[in-house]
């Protein structure tokens, strides 16, 4: 039975879903239809949870508007989600960040995950100027 479900769901899955993790600060671009007009609306905030698998996978984004917390759940494979742009990587040690609901001010801020790029091996660096000269 599960193989049949996977086969049906496969056509609805996004070919390359956006890459993000819990703790990241993101901008979620949503397609909004108003009458006959269609526009893209951005919802920015911190990913506080990810749950589900396959077609049912969803994530929760939290942001502060006028000193009031606003949370919104999105289905990852929904056609209404245009893109998820990661603005900042967060360094967290939890799968769910529900504790942020009680935090205010600077206590709400997450540490940033700094990604260092690996240095190229010395042999490649030495070959590079020789290629430019010739």
Q: Tell me the CATH number at 105.
A: 2.30.30.790
pLDDT digits (tens, 9 = 90+) for 64-96: 999 899 999 999 999 999 999 999 999 999 999
Q: How many CB atoms lie within 10 A of CB 45?
A: 21
CA atoms of 42 and 37, how far apart (whole Å): 16
CA atoms of 45 and 86, how far apart (whole Å): 10
Q: How far is CA 116 from the centre of its chain?
A: 20
User: Count of domains in the chain?
Assistant: 1
pLDDT digits (tens, 9 = 90+) for 18-55: 999 999 999 999 999 999 999 999 999 999 999 999 89
Q: Which domain holds residue 35?
A: 2-133
The radius of gyration of the chain's CA atoms, rounded to the nearest angstrom, is 20
Q: How would DSSP label each residue in 33-82?
A: EETTEEEEEEEEEEEEEEE--GGG-EEEEEEEETTEEEEEEEETT-TTEE
Token digits of residue 3: 């193989």
pTM of the model: 0.79
């Amino acid at each position: 039975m599960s193989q049949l479900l996977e086969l049906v769901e496969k056509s609805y899955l996004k070919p390359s879903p956006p890459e993000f993790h819990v703790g990241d600060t993101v901008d979620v671009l949503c397609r909004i239809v108003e009458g006959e007009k269609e526009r893209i609306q951005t919802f920015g905030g911190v990913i506080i949870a990810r749950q589900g698998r396959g077609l049912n996978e969803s994530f929760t984004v939290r942001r502060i508007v006028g000193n009031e917390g606003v949370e919104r759940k999105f289905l990852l494979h929904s056609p209404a989600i245009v893109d998820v742009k990661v603005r900042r990587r967060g360094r967290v040690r939890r799968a769910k960040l529900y504790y942020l609901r009680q935090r205010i001010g600077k206590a709400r801020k997450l540490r940033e995950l700094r990604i260092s790029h690996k240095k190229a091996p010395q042999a490649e660096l030495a070959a590079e100027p020789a290629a430019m000269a010739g």
